[in-house]
Amino acid sequence: MESGNEEIANKKEMANDKNVKPEEPKKRSKVFLIILILMVIAGAWFGISKYTYAEHHEDTDDAQIEADIIPIIPRVSGYVKEIRVKDNQQVHKGDTLIIIDDRDLKINLMQAEAALSTAESNVSASRANTNAARSGINTSKEGVATIDAQIAAAQVTLTRATQDYNRYANLIKDHSITEQQFEQAQASKDLAEKQLLILQQQKKQASSQTGVVSSQSNATAQTIPVAESMVKQREVEVDDAKLKLSYTVITAPESGRVSRVNIQEGQLLQQGQSTFDIVRSSNIWVVANFKETQIRKMVTGQKVAVSADAFPKHEFEAEVASFSPATGAKFSLLPPDNASGNFVKVVQRLPVKITFTNPSDSLLKRLMPGMNVDVDVHLN
Report pLDDT digits (tens) over 343-353: 778 889 999 99
Q: CA 181, 182, 186 angle in degrees (round to 5)?
A: 120
Range in 7-21, 23-37, 206-220, 324-338 the model is least confident about: 7-21
CB atoms within 10 A of CB 145: 12
Cα distances (Å, whole numbers) of residue 365 to 142, 257, 368: 88, 12, 8
On average, the pLDDT of the chain sits at 81
At 361-370, the pLDDT tens digits run 989 989 999 9
Question: Beta-carbon neighbour count of residue 319 at 10 Å?
Answer: 15
Q: Specify the DSSP class assigned to residue 315.
A: E
**Which tens digits make up the pLDDT trace of 142-168?**
666 676 677 777 777 767 777 766 776
Q: What are phi and psi of 313, to 5 degrees?
A: -95, 5
The beta-strand segments (E) located in the chain are: 57-72, 78-83, 90-91, 96-100, 249-251, 256-258, 268-269, 276-291, 303-308, 311-323, 349-356, 372-378
- Residue 253: pLDDT band with limits 50, 70, 90: very high
| Strand-pair category, 96-100 with 303-308 | unpaired
Q: How confident is the model at residue 38 (pLDDT cuts 50, 70, 90)?
A: confident
Percent of the chain with pLDDT over 70: 73
* Alpha-carbon distance values, 126 to 69, 191, 216, 229 (Å): 55, 47, 12, 13
The pLDDT, as a whole number, for residue 29 is 64
Rounded-to-integer distance, Cα 321 and Cα 352, Å: 8
**At residue 278, what are phi and psi to the nearest 5 degrees?**
-120, 125
Residue 364 has a CB neighbour count (10 Å cut-off) of 16
